[in-house]
Amino acid sequence: MIWMSGVDKLCNYFNQPWLDFTGRSIEQELGNGWAEGVHPEDFSQCLETYTKSFDRRVAFRMTYRLRRADGEYRWVLDQGVPRFELDGSFTGYIGSCVDVTEQKLAEEALSRMNQRLIEVQEEERSRLARELHDDINQRIGLLAVNLERLRQDMPASEVALQQRIAGECTRISLLASDIQAMSHSLHSSKLQLLGLAAAAKGFCRELQDLEDVQIEFHAAEFPENLPEHVSLCLFRVLQEALQNAVKHSESRRFRVSLAGSASQIALTVQDWGVGFRQDTASKGRGLGLTSMSERLKLVGGQLCIESYPGGGTTVNATVPVHAAERSERKMKRKPKKRQHSKKTTTISR
């Protein structure tokens, strides 16, 4: 479906496939009439993308829903490029649209499946954490108490055996501490009770003691009422990124920062280690990187990794505030029957 516009941003041409798709006449579509078919929820984004690109004279690529002749909204991929005369003078834009609804539906289905897989994973993490904390750890604790009583009840002459039992008691206590740390790693109660900043700080302190490394933690102001699934996403990204850094970077010093503004929430994990080539990362760290990226994608966030051999690694995870709010509404919203509405706001293209 082909369209063209002049220097005034108004459309002055649509080809027949466009008219067949929309079921409207050329007179209805010219100027900004075509905008009546854009879905109300996509209108602002469509306008902003087109206007900013037009003012900068650069190509653009965007997706939005456009009403078809039968009244159904279909996802279209719209690509536009500026047109210039031989003397370099600007004459407007030319663009093409392709129906990508089936691809969009497939992506949404995959996203829902990924979301469900992550939910199942978190449910299993919670179950294992409860099992370790409430059952396994308690039984190990009872075993340590019984061994200590046995040692005390032994004759004073059995010094060597008492010492062996005392050593086993120490090892059991260390095992209990490791299981408790594993339980907290699987499911952080601090995250639910105290929030993201406190849980992140606690995790850094536990990992620092466990691995005997130095971890600097900084938390600046950010929204306190973060959606639970956004907080969990950033916490899991922190765990994955920091554990990867401790395991692979060969560095003993790390920095974690958590900050927020009116527009986005940002998590940064930095090390000064050996770094790695990102084009070969999939061979060693691919699953972890994929997991972080998929989690962020589900809450509208992005993952950016800066690394090169000998230059350390910086992992940046960002979630736009508006995306976090929108994903929370999406998680709570129940499916509704599709309704068609006509857009009366005008747009210049």
Last residue of a domain, one of 30, 65, 99: 99
Q: Are residues 15 and 141 in the same domain?
A: no
Q: In the predicted model, is pLDDT for residue 332 greater than 60?
A: no
- Regarding whether 65 and 114 lie in a shared domain, the answer is no
Residue 308 has pLDDT above 70, yes or no: yes
Is the same domain home to 165 and 210? no
More confident residue, 232 or 39: 39
pLDDT, tens digit, for every residue of 196-212? Answer: 888 899 889 988 988 89
Residues shown for the chain: 349
Please check whether residue 342 lies inside any domain of the structure: no
The structural domain count of the chain equals 3
Statement to judge: residues 196 and 314 lie in one domain:
yes
What CATH number is given to the structural domain containing 201?
Answer: 3.30.565.10
Statement to judge: residues 124 and 252 lie in one domain: no
Q: Which of 281-290, 302-311, 315-324 has the highest mean pLDDT?
A: 302-311
165 and 182 together in one domain: yes
Q: Are both 112 and 64 inside the same structural domain?
A: no
Identify whether residues 173 and 218 lie together within a single domain. no
With respect to residue 176, please indicate whether it lies within any of the assigned structural domains: yes
* Model confidence at 5: pLDDT above 70: yes
**Identity of the highest mean pLDDT range in 45-54, 120-129, 133-142:** 45-54
Per-residue burial over 287-316, b if 16 or more Cβ lie within 10 Å, else e, is: ebbeebbbbbebbbbebebebeeeebbbbb
What string of DSSP letters covers 256-306?
EEEEE-SSEEEEEEEE-S----GGGGGGTTHHHHHHHHHHHHHTT-EEEEE
Model pTM above 0.75? no
Looking at the fold, whether 114 and 129 belong to one and the same domain comes out as yes
Domain boundary among 163, 187, 211: 187
- Do 318 and 198 fall into the same domain? yes
Residue 195 to residue 213: CA distance in whole angstroms? 24
In the predicted model, is pLDDT for residue 342 greater than 50?
Answer: no
Q: Are residues 10 and 26 in the same domain?
A: yes
Last residue of a domain, one of 168, 187, 206: 187
Question: What is the extent of the structural domain holding 261?
Answer: 191-333
Residue 215 shares a structural domain with residue 311: yes
Residue 180 · residue 193 · CB < 8 Å: no
**Which CATH number is 45's domain given?**
3.30.450.20
